[in-house]
Structure 1
Amino acid sequence: MFIADLFAFLFFKSPQSDSFPVIRWHEAKIFQIQTQSDPQVQIIVDQYLNNLANQGLIKDQQGVWIQSNWSIEADNRGKIPAPAASLTKVATTIASLQTWDLDHRFVTNIFTTGKINNGTLEGDLIVEAGGDPLFVWEEAIALANRLQDLGINNITGDLILVGNWQMNYQENPLKSGEMLKQAFNSDNWSYVIEKQYQEIQNFQKRPKISIQGGVKVFSQKPDHSQLILTHQSLTLREILRLMNVYSNNKIAESLAQQIGGGEKIAQIVSQVANVPQEEILLQNGSGLGVDNRISPRAVARMFMALDTLLEKTNYNLGDLFPVSGVDNKGTIEARNIPFGIPCKTGSLAVVSALAGVIQTSEREKVYFAIVNYGNGLDNLRNQQDVLLQNLHNHWTIEPLKPNSDIEVKFGYLR
């Protein structure tokens, strides 16, 4: 009796009250969800594939997968893993969010073995790497200014780097240390550093810290080291968005190494996105090389999984990936993708890929992945854009814009 009463309460007007409208049960919103595939979508995809075939490309080398939360809309070799290029970074994004939270900041600790007397640090300055994948010239300048605020203008000892220190994506810790030393003293700046300094938001002072010693790399910090400063990176969300907007391989590899490598990322993503491990075969976190193979279905479901991960936050997929018509830089700068679609590109010598999410009025969110194989990357990109435009003409697209400020500010110090 309770179930019947509840059903009547939800869908029919109560005889004792005029406050509830009459809603026939089959007209209730929950019953309006499109659970059947839209046959027109497969027709649009088939036309796209036929156009590629007419240009000499092989249909069986083109992967397409389009789905909503409720149905599969189109499929061509969608479950077969293929070189997906930088779509691999979608997997790295998921694995990163399973390792750290969105607001995580990588911490670089600064130590010394000496004391500060009249502007001189009598001893060594020690920089302990904390995994920051985006420590660049701007960060080094901000760090130098903070050290000068502590009263350090001269250092009698060495600049010691502890751990896998990386700066400006340079994987050699010693070379990275030389860059840091150069950035500390504006008298030694190159044209590149000067240019970056001019672009810094929240304009920093021009630091002048003279280091008399050399640059050394240690596996652990010296005994009796005293912590004097911590430097925090941009948030993980900001780092991931920059990685995806510019498809930065160095950031992706830095994150992947800290997570445990390509195979570990594939294991994490297989579980989170509920995709068979056989459809996600990764050697690294960037997508460089044809040995990184992902099925279009797996990529689409990665975007679905990310959407789920973001549900309880103030962010959406546009806060992690470039959005067409919103971002006028990076890999989608010259693309003709319909407005308001968060997406990720991928390119290798004969591979062009595109994946993302389309928010529609008719079928809510629709996730897509296109992995093309063949010569003529510019043409493949153009055809991908045409495919999305045809889907745009078929559906009513509701632009999905970032909820956050997409302009990144460097120089976070705590």
Structure 2
Amino acid sequence: MGAGMVVAGLLVGGWAWSDESARSDAATPATSSAANSPSATTAALSARRVPKFLVAPQADRRLNNAIAPKLAALSDTSCFEVRDGERVIVSHGTDQALAVASNQKLLTAWVALEVLGADHTFTTRFATTAPIDGGVINGDLWIIGGGDPLLESDTYRSTFKWGKGAHTSIEAIADELAALGITAITGSVVGDDSFFDAERTVSTWPSRMLAQGQVGPLSALSVNDARTYSPIPGAGGGAQPASDPAAWAADAFTQLLSARGIAVGGAPASGQAPETTNTVLEIASRPVWQLLAQMLTFSDNNTAELLVKAIGREVSGEGSTAAGLVAMVDRLGGLGTDMSQISLLDGSGLDDGSRVTCDLILATLNGDDSDPDPSQGVLAAGLPTANGEVGTLRDRFHNSPGAGRVFAKTGTLRSVTALSGWAQAREERISFATVINTVGREVTGADTNAEDALAAALIDYPDSIDPALVGPSVPRP
């Protein structure tokens, strides 16, 4: 048998593993009879049907060569990695741990899926110390928070920059309470946020984070991200961080109940509910998979930080940031990546002292087992779409091949920009992670453009293969 025919026989077997059309061809045995002319052999070995293991080396080299100038222009404190499943296609600067800004939410999301589960919900409970008597609550109406990060009013949601995602409507809750026939509360509406600890921020955050509205005070009973947006249209009240989030939640519901004709005798307050209460109403949050989509699409810092506390409570019984971060590091270590340089100071990425590698980011993306194909899993589905209708990528990738084909988490601090997720390449989605630390200067548009260009370069992967390098030689007579 000629050398060319040996190659042909091997390739026919290879195609049997690559796609359905190849399986039908592979069912016909390859023979060395004279009927197998050189022209017939060449036609069967169309470059379009070359199996992946032959295409990949050439395609990888071409991609690396094409983006080499882009990578050379990045700062030394940057990393870029691309994977096709577990196979690394591009690796640049992946031995260093960097500040990743909101890309850290990918880690928080992955651990939340592992610890809490995609369908887990957080319950907000409304309770009294005595049964409702003729529509009257004799005493206080307690609101016992369970960690729902998205208790929001329509007035608050109208201020959102990137569009609106999942939430728990506090107006709808007030409607349900009114539908129970409640006409009066002789006491107060009282908020209880003891489900989590009383630490309202992360100690290492700059004070401007709270003042600028980057994150609200953290609380297990958080209405409008614990910022004082009145739920009553036109009522004003500003948007200051609530000094007592549980009392503010009670205030918001007092306003809503009063607007529905329910008389409330006392001023809103906070405290810890008695051990024995009568449940009037229970409200479940959106399931975790929807909370993650909202967090990733809109880069919601509050949701990220409250999920960290929820992780801590679930694992150790302590609803604190510290307990949650310990649990996160422990779970992330199970992904098999080098954790020696990893340092997590919060769950949102607001703290620029955290350190994460591109390798760990990709491990979380590819480690999402909510779907057999991680690129179709909960994390991937929750990412914003390049040049999409909502989310933090809405205003990027204009007139770019990446528009509608890049799905990625953004990350921005003064000296950090990051973009990690999935690119819809020619045949399948491939994962990528980009982190740029601009030490000594602030991030500019040139830096985010560089990120976008790297992601867009993945769309044509794998590019066309040179048939001469893999095609059969002409059989010798």
Find out whether 1:360 has 2:425 as its counterpart: yes
In the alignment, the residues of structure 2 paired with residue 103 and residue 180 of structure 1 have an alpha-carbon distance, to the nearest angstrom, of 28
Contact 1:90/1:303, CA 8 A, preserved across alignment: yes
Contact 1:181/1:211, CA 8 A, preserved across alignment: no
For 1:329, the equivalent position in structure 2 comes to 390
For 2:224, the equivalent position in structure 1 comes to 168
For 2:411, the equivalent position in structure 1 comes to 346
Contact 1:168/1:176, CA 8 A, preserved across alignment: no
For 1:407, the equivalent position in structure 2 comes to none
For 1:246, the equivalent position in structure 2 comes to 298
In the alignment, the residues of structure 2 paired with residue 276 and residue 97 of structure 1 have an alpha-carbon distance, to the nearest angstrom, of 21
CA 1:95–1:316 in 2, change beyond 3 Å: closer, same or farther? closer
For 2:372, the equivalent position in structure 1 comes to 311
**Structure 2: any 5+ residue segments left out of the alignment?**
1-12, 17-23, 32-44, 155-168, 195-219, 227-240, 313-323, 464-477
In the alignment, the residues of structure 2 paired with residue 94 and residue 22 of structure 1 have an alpha-carbon distance, to the nearest angstrom, of 46
Amino acid at match of 1:368: F
Find out whether 1:133 has 2:149 as its counterpart: yes
Amino acid at match of 1:299: I
Q: How does 1:13-412 map to 2 (within 5 A)?
A: 21-22=27-28, 34=56, 38-52=60-74, 59-137=75-153, 139-162=169-192, 163=194, 164-170=220-226, 174-186=244-256, 207-219=260-272, 221-260=273-312, 261-271=324-334, 273-306=335-368, 308-311=369-372, 315-325=377-387, 327-336=388-397, 337-362=402-427, 364-374=428-438, 375-395=442-462
In the alignment, the residues of structure 1 paired with residue 92 and residue 275 of structure 2 have an alpha-carbon distance, to the nearest angstrom, of 61
In the alignment, the residues of structure 1 paired with residue 253 and residue 124 of structure 2 have an alpha-carbon distance, to the nearest angstrom, of 16
CA 1:36–1:90 in 2, change beyond 3 Å: closer, same or farther? farther
Contact 2:123/2:284, CA 8 A, preserved across alignment: yes
CA 1:253–1:30 in 2, change beyond 3 Å: closer, same or farther? same
Shift of 1:97: 0.4
Contact 1:141/1:207, CA 8 A, preserved across alignment: no
For 1:199, the equivalent position in structure 2 comes to none
Amino acid at match of 2:108: T
More strand by share: 1
Shift of 1:331: 1.3
CA 1:84–1:223 in 2, change beyond 3 Å: closer, same or farther? closer
Contact 2:150/2:224, CA 8 A, preserved across alignment: yes
For 2:35, the equivalent position in structure 1 comes to none
Q: How many residues align?
A: 355
CA 1:35–1:179 in 2, change beyond 3 Å: closer, same or farther? same
Amino acid at match of 1:131: G
Shift of 1:19: 11
TM-score (norm 1): 0.76
CA 1:23–1:298 in 2, change beyond 3 Å: closer, same or farther? farther
In the alignment, the residues of structure 1 paired with residue 262 and residue 95 of structure 2 have an alpha-carbon distance, to the nearest angstrom, of 57
Shift of 1:253: 0.5
Amino acid at match of 2:65: I
**SS of aligned partner of 1:87:** helix
Whichever of the two has the greater Rg, that structure is 2
Contact 1:352/1:377, CA 8 A, preserved across alignment: no
CA 1:338–1:280 in 2, change beyond 3 Å: closer, same or farther? farther
* Percent identity (aligned): 23
Shift of 1:333: 1.3
In the alignment, the residues of structure 2 paired with residue 143 and residue 178 of structure 1 have an alpha-carbon distance, to the nearest angstrom, of 16
In the alignment, the residues of structure 2 paired with residue 63 and residue 283 of structure 1 have an alpha-carbon distance, to the nearest angstrom, of 20
Shift of 1:184: 4.2
Amino acid at match of 2:28: V
RMSD between superposed Cα atoms in Å:
3.1
Amino acid at match of 1:330: G
**SS of aligned partner of 1:147:** helix
Contact 2:128/2:139, CA 8 A, preserved across alignment: yes
In the alignment, the residues of structure 1 paired with residue 380 and residue 246 of structure 2 have an alpha-carbon distance, to the nearest angstrom, of 32
**SS of aligned partner of 1:300:** helix
Shift of 1:352: 0.6
TM-score (norm 2): 0.67
For 2:211, the equivalent position in structure 1 comes to none
Amino acid at match of 1:354: L
Contact 2:56/2:462, CA 8 A, preserved across alignment: no
Amino acid at match of 1:216: A
Contact 1:144/1:209, CA 8 A, preserved across alignment: no
Amino acid at match of 1:386: A
For 1:412, the equivalent position in structure 2 comes to none
In the alignment, the residues of structure 2 paired with residue 207 and residue 355 of structure 1 have an alpha-carbon distance, to the nearest angstrom, of 46
**SS of aligned partner of 1:132:** coil
In the alignment, the residues of structure 2 paired with residue 24 and residue 32 of structure 1 have an alpha-carbon distance, to the nearest angstrom, of 20
CA 1:223–1:393 in 2, change beyond 3 Å: closer, same or farther? closer
**SS of aligned partner of 1:234:** coil
The answer to which of 157-166 and 84-93 deviates more is 157-166
